[in-house]
C-alpha cells in the first residue's frame, strides 16, 4: 500500500522513479581517496583457509560466492588485517558486506572499528565483545534486520571510546543492508581529521564531526562479530580498499590545471562507472558548474593486464562515459569537454602489484587553456 501511495505521489508531482533515484544520488557526497594504499580481495588465499594477512581470536575461512572469494567471519571474534598498520588523518576505507539469507534479528551485528592499538598484533583482542578496557577508537555496527515485522529495514549503531571510557553513542534504522532484500552492501568510510562519515551504498548513516579524539594515533581497522542465534547466520566481506583521502579537486583543477585520481572506479573490463564513484564525479561537476568558462580534457588510463589495443580502446570508452555522465546528470555542456585515452602506455608506477595496477587505473582531468 505504501509503495502504491509513493508511486501516486510521484505521478502527481510529475516525478519518475529514475528522477527520484537521481535526486538521491546527487546527495551522495562521499569522495574516494585518490591514492590507494591497501587492496585486499583474498586472491592470494585458498578456499577453506583463514586469510594469510589477518589475525583473529576466533575462526573463519575463505569461501566462494558468485565466482569470487569472500572472507566468512567466525562467531564471537575480532579480526584484524595486518596490511593496515597506519592511518593518515584523511583517508577513505571501503569494503563489501553480504549476509546469509533469513538472517535472525537476535544474532549480533557486524561491527568494524577504527582504533588506536599500542601493539596491534596482540592488543586487537581488547575489542572483543563486552570488553572496553583500554579501548580508544570508534566502533560502528550494522545489522541486516530490524525489529520491524516488515523486515524491510536494517539497523546501525556507533560507540566512541576514550581510554576505555564510553563516549557518544547512538543507534538508527538503515535502508541499504537488509537480509533477503539488499543482502549485499558497499560500505564507505571517510575520515577527515576529527570528522567521520559512514555510508551504506549511497545512504549516509552517520556524520560525526567529533568522532576522533585529538592527539590519539588511530592506526588500525578491525572487525568484530558476536554470537549468532542460528548456526547458518553468516557475515562475509570482500574488496577492501584503503586510500589517502581529502583530494583537493578544486585547487588542483582550477589553480594547477590538472586533477588526477584513481578514485573513479569502473566494472572490470568495462566503461560502466561504479556507483561509489559518484561523489567524486559530483565534486568535479560542481567545480565546472561554478567555473562556466573552464574547459577540460578527460583522459583515461588502464593497467597492463590484457591486450594493449583493447586497453587503449577501453581507456577512451571510460573517458567518454565520464563525459556523458557529467553532461547528462549534471548539466555540463558537452562542448566544454574533450576526451582521450592512453591505455597502459603512461603508467605512474610499475604494473608489478595489485596496488600499483589500481593506481595506474586512473583518470586525468586537464584544464584546457
Q: Where are the domains of the chain?
A: 35-244, 249-368
β pairing state of 195-200 and 184-192: antiparallel
Q: What is the average per-residue pLDDT within 240-261? A: 87
pLDDT at position 68 over 70: yes
Q: Where are the alpha helices (DSSP H) in the chain?
A: 2-13, 17-26, 120-123, 249-250, 278-290, 308-330, 354-360
- CA pair distance 163, 132, nearest whole angstrom: 9
- CA pair distance 21, 272, nearest whole angstrom: 18
- Give the pLDDT confidence score for residue 129 in this predicted structure: 82
pLDDT tens figures, 279-323: 999 999 999 999 999 999 999 999 999 999 999 999 999 999 999
pLDDT at position 23 over 70: no
pLDDT at position 258 over 90: yes
- Percent of the chain at pLDDT > 90 equals 81
pLDDT at position 164 over 80: yes
182 or 132, which is more confident? 182
Q: Looking at domain 249-368, which CATH architecture does it have?
A: 2-Layer Sandwich (3.30)
Does domain 35-244 correspond to CATH entry 2.60.120.200?
A: yes
Beta partners for residue 137, in sequence order = 115, 161
What are the CA-CA distances from residue 10 to residues 7, 21, 142, 176 (Å)? 5, 12, 31, 21
**Rg of the chain over CA atoms, in angstroms?**
21
Amino acid at each position: 500500500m505504501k509503495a502504491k501511495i509513493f508511486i501516486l505521489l510521484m505521478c502527481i508531482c510529475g516525478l519518475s522513479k529514475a528522477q527520484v533515484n537521481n535526486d538521491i544520488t546527487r546527495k551522495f557526497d562521499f569522495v574516494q581517496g585518490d591514492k590507494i594504499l591497501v587492496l585486499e580481495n583474498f586472491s592470494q588465499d585458498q578456499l577453506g583457509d583463514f586469510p594469510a594477512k589477518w589475525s583473529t581470536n576466533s575462526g573463519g575461512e575463505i569461501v566462494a560466492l558468485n565466482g569470487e572469494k569472500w572472507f566468512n567471519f567466525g562467531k564471537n571474534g575480532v579480526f584484524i588485517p595486518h596490511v593496515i598498520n597506519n592511518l593518515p588523518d584523511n583517508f577513505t576505507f571501503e569494503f563489501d558486506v553480504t549476509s546469509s539469507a533469513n538472517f535472525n534479528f537476535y544474532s549480533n551485528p557486524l561491527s568494524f572499528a577504527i582504533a588506536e592499538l599500542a601493539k596491534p598484533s596482540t592488543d586487537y583482542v581488547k575489542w572483543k565483545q563486552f570488553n572496553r578496557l583500554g579501548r580508544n577508537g570508534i566502533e560502528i555496527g550494522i545489522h541486516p534486520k530490524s525489529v520491524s515485522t516488515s523486515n524491510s529495514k536494517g539497523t546501525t549503531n556507533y560507540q566512541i571510546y576514550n581510554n576505555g571510557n564510553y563516549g557518544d553513542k547512538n543507534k538508527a534504522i538503515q535502508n541499504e543492508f537488509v537480509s533477503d532484500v539488499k543482502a549485499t552492501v558497499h560500505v564507505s568510510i571517510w575520515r577527515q581529521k576529527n570528522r567521520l562519515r559512514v555510508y551504506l551504498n549511497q545512504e549516509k548513516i552517520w556524520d560525526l564531526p567529533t568522532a576522533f579524539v585529538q592527539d590519539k594515533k588511530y592506526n588500525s581497522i578491525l572487525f568484530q562479530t558476536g554470537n549468532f542465534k542460528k548456526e547458518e547466520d553468516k557475515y562475509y566481506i570482500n574488496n577492501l580498499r584503503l586510500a589517502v583521502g581529502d583530494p583537493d579537486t578544486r585547487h588542483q583543477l582550477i589553480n594547477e590545471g590538472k586533477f588526477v585520481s584513481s578514485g573513479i572506479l569502473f566494472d572490470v573490463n568495462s566503461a560502466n562507472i561504479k556507483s561509489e564513484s559518484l561523489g567524486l564525479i559530483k565534486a568535479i561537476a560542481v567545480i565546472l558548474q561554478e567555473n562556466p568558462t573552464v574547459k577540460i580534457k578527460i583522459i583515461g588510463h588502464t593497467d597492463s593486464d590484457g591486450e594493449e589495443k583493447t586497453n587503449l580502446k577501453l581507456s577512451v570508452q571510460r573517458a567518454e562515459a565520464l563525459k556523458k555522465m557529467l553532461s547528462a546528470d549534471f548539466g555540463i555542456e558537452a562542448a566544454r569537454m574533450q576526451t582521450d585515452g592512453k591505455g597502459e602506455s603512461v603508467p605512474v608506477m610499475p604494473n608489478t602489484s595489485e596496488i600499483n595496477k589500481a593506481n595506474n587505473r586512473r583518470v586525468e582531468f586537464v584544464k584546457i587553456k
